[in-house]
Chains A and B, each alone.
Chain A
């Protein structure tokens, strides 16, 4: 049994099955077409679930439904102990940033630098003003961060921010604007913007598409660290090796439905013909 899976189970036992992000019988229709067709899915704390499937299979829509960015036509979404049944006339209290999303298109704010993009939500949440300003190099900023008030929440947020910037090797470009940065740099910034908020559920849509192998490896190890801390992570990806390394659970989607789900064996010895065909095409293309 994978180490993460053990953690996921432990969390579940400790919390008596109450903590999870779950979608039950979710349906989403656009026009006459069912984009999401009666999907059940649960994401446990400490678990990494990976969704694979062809383009247009409804992966991103499912992620938006789970994040409650779009309401399903019908179905239920459970966030920890809170249950939301759709359709609903009630105003739903937003679950963000308890659930945070990093989108494929990243959606960085163009008038702010990457650093300002990362710090803005954090600053607004806590009223805290990060002390990092333009500095010659990253080490300086890390040293400065470690020298500020040690026991306060501010210091811990400052350190978390600095550590993430250091971990993702962003020191050299963190003060650039999004349009002055490469796609890979923007992807890292969008990921750090989400991580620094310490979500309980992190939903990631194709965030490794423009990263090099080294960066993917860093993200992979960081996601594993996060899952060990009890964060539930849902990843949409087309990278099978990344999926193999990361996943506690693999979900294959096609035509708005979950065709097959299970452990990593879904990738190595799938039961369903559609999954076999998709994987063989991907393997041969790569």
Chain B
């Protein structure tokens, strides 16, 4: 349980911060950062998480002649996926941001910082927070894949217990309930934020 949340926490924190940074910079420098990041994200989206995880765990380490702790490999794999998923969302919203709202702020005498804080960020956050929350829930669920490269996370522990006492219904139901208990509130929060803040802005 602890390993799973430790893994999820690393993936969330690094994914959101680095992804947010790459997304913001990608919107500002479209060709230097935005375009490569988009290409990488596009390719990554075509590779199953499990294949990517295995590739980083076995072939890459064999090629480099190194042995890395499976926990680190799992954290790196999921973090990379999270970074580019987050960057994609942030970059898309920033690029689509209507420039007229910024112009309106400028002619009202607002500084760039004031426009960022009072106009751009509130609108961008309203659009991105629910989507980002959903991505983080998916990342939490994806931590289960770490068990396949011997990371002692919750699913692997469940498998080990089941091997000893053979009560699959009870054990895997309990596992499902644990995930439900964590993911449902997060999904609910995303839904609530979406309903509350991402109203239809279109004018009549």
The answer to whether B201 and A197 touch across the interface, beta carbons within 8 angstroms, is: no
Measured between alpha carbons, how far is A99 from B106 in the docked complex, in Å?
A: 11
Q: Chain B: residues with CB nearer than 8 A to chain A? A: 100-101, 103-110, 114, 118-119, 122-123, 126, 197, 199-204
Q: Specify the chain B residue showing the minimal Cβ separation from A70.
A: B103
Give chain B residues whose Cβ lies under 8 Å from the Cβ of A103: 100, 103-104
The answer to whether B200 and A179 touch across the interface, beta carbons within 8 angstroms, is: yes
Give chain A residues whose Cβ lies under 8 Å from the Cβ of B109: 94, 96-97, 100, 121, 125, 197
Interface flag for A216 (CB, 8 Å) = no
Proximity bits, A165-192, B CB within 8 Å = 1, else 0? 0000000000001110011001000000
The answer to whether A121 and B108 touch across the interface, beta carbons within 8 angstroms, is: yes
Q: Chain A: residues with CB nearer than 8 A to chain B? A: 67, 69, 94, 96-97, 99-101, 103, 105, 107-111, 120-121, 124-125, 177-179, 182-183, 186, 193-194, 197
The answer to whether B108 and A111 touch across the interface, beta carbons within 8 angstroms, is: no
Choose from A67, A100, A107, A121 the contact partner of B100 (Cβ within 8 Å): A107
Measured between alpha carbons, how far is A101 from B203 in the docked complex, in Å?
A: 21
Question: A210 CB to closest chain B CB, in angstroms?
Answer: 11
The answer to whether A111 and B200 touch across the interface, beta carbons within 8 angstroms, is: no
The answer to whether B201 and A96 touch across the interface, beta carbons within 8 angstroms, is: no
Choose from A120, A124, A186 the contact partner of B203 (Cβ within 8 Å): A186
Give chain A residues whose Cβ lies under 8 Å from the Cβ of B101: 107, 109-110
17 contacts between A and B (CB under 8 A): A69-B103, A96-B106, A96-B109, A99-B107, A105-B100, A107-B101, A109-B104, A110-B123, A111-B126, A121-B110, A124-B110, A124-B118, A179-B199, A179-B202, A182-B204, A194-B108, A197-B108
The answer to whether A101 and B100 touch across the interface, beta carbons within 8 angstroms, is: no
Choose from A120, A125, A186 the contact partner of B118 (Cβ within 8 Å): A120
Measured between alpha carbons, how far is A6 from B107 in the docked complex, in Å?
A: 29
Measured between alpha carbons, how far is A94 from B200 in the docked complex, in Å?
A: 33
Give chain B residues whose Cβ lies under 8 Å from the Cβ of A69: 103, 106-107
Measured between alpha carbons, how far is A105 from B203 in the docked complex, in Å?
A: 11
Question: B102 CB to closest chain A CB, in angstroms?
Answer: 9
Q: Specify the chain B residue showing the minimal Cβ separation from A116.
A: B118
| Other A-B pairs beyond A96-B108, A179-B204, A186-B203, 12, CB < 8 Å | A96-B109, A100-B109, A107-B100, A107-B104, A109-B101, A109-B104, A111-B122, A111-B123, A111-B197, A178-B201, A179-B202, A197-B109
Question: A198 CB to closest chain B CB, in angstroms?
Answer: 11
Measured between alpha carbons, how far is A194 from B107 in the docked complex, in Å?
A: 9
Give chain B residues whose Cβ lies under 8 Å from the Cβ of A121: 105, 108-110
Question: A160 CB to closest chain B CB, in angstroms?
Answer: 15
Give chain A residues whose Cβ lies under 8 Å from the Cβ of B108: 96-97, 100, 120-121, 193-194, 197
Give chain A residues whose Cβ lies under 8 Å from the Cβ of B203: 178-179, 183, 186
- Quick one: which of A101, A121, A178, A182 has the most chain B CB within 10 A? A121
